[in-house]
Amino acid sequence: MTVQKYQPAATGAGRIAEASMSATARSMAAEGSPIKYGKAVKLGTDKEIQVKAWDGAASTDIFAGIALNSVTGDLDNDQYLQGNPVSVLKKGTVWVKVSADSAGVTAGQKAAVLEDGDFTAAPLSVDTNGVYGVELEGSEYLTSAAAGELVMLAINLPSTTKVVQL
């Protein structure tokens, strides 16, 4: 199958990076605090229809995907508000932000999410700070980037995820 570039350059977190027929997104309702485009999301209170921003709050959190850029919600602040429909990427390639707490990522590495909802390289360092990240087995960085920069990430859910105390 031929993959065509959709966004040839990083223009914003949560934007589709490559278009393919196999990309999959699911619409769910935002719950709680705003969800920024390009951030990791977890299943919400009603796991069938709601998502929340990944905040590293609990070891029982379930990674749901990545909030895609949208033409709905609070467009001035690049985020979904409570009750907005959220497009959650489950399978595909998207631009995401490397966490300010990351040492950067390299193309070919697997991804992980830190408590800020941004991304770093797996594996995560285990600690006892009471906050949690998640390692994404079905993922791969397609470009390299330093902390705070945008990076192209391919994900393929459902796959194995591992919640780790940071």
- φ, ψ of residue 21 to 5 degrees: the values are -65, -15
**pLDDT tens digits, 36-79:** 999 999 999 999 999 999 999 999 999 999 999 988 778 889 99
pLDDT score of 4 more than 80: no
**pLDDT tens digits, 6-37:** 455 667 888 878 766 556 788 889 999 999 99
> Mean pLDDT for the chain?
90
Q: Domain-by-domain residue ranges, the chain?
A: 4-165
